[in-house]
A = this chain, B = another copy of it.
Amino acid sequence: MSRKTSSVAVYCSLNMGTLVTGTAATYVEELWINTDKRYEIMCITQDVQNVIKQSGITDGIVLVNPMHITASCYVNDLESGLHHDIMNWLGKLAPFYGADGKSGEEYHHHQTGEDNGDAHLKRQLLGQQVTMAVKNGQLHLGTWEQIHYAEFDGMRNKRILVKVVGIIAQ
């Protein structure tokens, strides 16, 4: 862990950047999703890419945001072992207690009749949403970056908002 407290020079060339101008544009789509299980992780990279292609927007950003508060959109490895590790880890740090809860441990949220208090917390821990870059009409990703949807209260219809904001290059 670094003890440096001043800004560190990053080994970058400031001549490599790319400026693009054009017509300002936004595009939005709501994707519908319904998972087979209560807890499930799905890769949605290609779905997001399809929306970008459909939009015609060439450069900008794309916001990928679950429209429900018991799910996450996040970026990490597309690897089933890691998917298991993520769910296992979230289960330890934000446990499921069910509708009845446990003495001294239950979520107050369950007093409303819900049993998904853990889902509301897991979503915050894993990350609510991601914003990714768009370049030349494509997701601008690192080698291993994959966009995922993590469901913590599934088996029902839910929506993912995909909003593209940027330009149509001239």
Contacts and interface: CB of A to CB of B under 8 A. Distances in A.
Contacts of A37: 1-2
Say what secondary structure dominates the interface of chain A: mixed
B17 A55 contact: yes
A84 B121 CA distance: 12
A127 B124 contact: yes
A127 B128 contact: yes
Contacts of A9: 47
Nearest to A87: B1
Given A112-B81, A163-B140, A20 B12 contact: no
A145 B159 CA distance: 12
Interface string A38-72: 01111111110011001111011101011111000
A68 to B, nearest CB: 6
B120 A14 contact: no
A26 B50 CA distance: 21
Contacts of A67: 141-143, 145
Interface string A94-130: 1000000000000111111000010011011111111
A109 to B, nearest CB: 4
Interface string A4-36: 111111111010111111111111111111110
Nearest to A20: B26
A19 B56 contact: yes
Given A81-B109, A93-B93, 17 more contacts: A2-B42, A2-B83, A3-B80, A4-B43, A11-B33, A17-B29, A21-B23, A28-B133, A61-B61, A65-B131, A69-B142, A69-B145, A74-B124, A76-B120, A82-B117, A124-B125, A165-B166
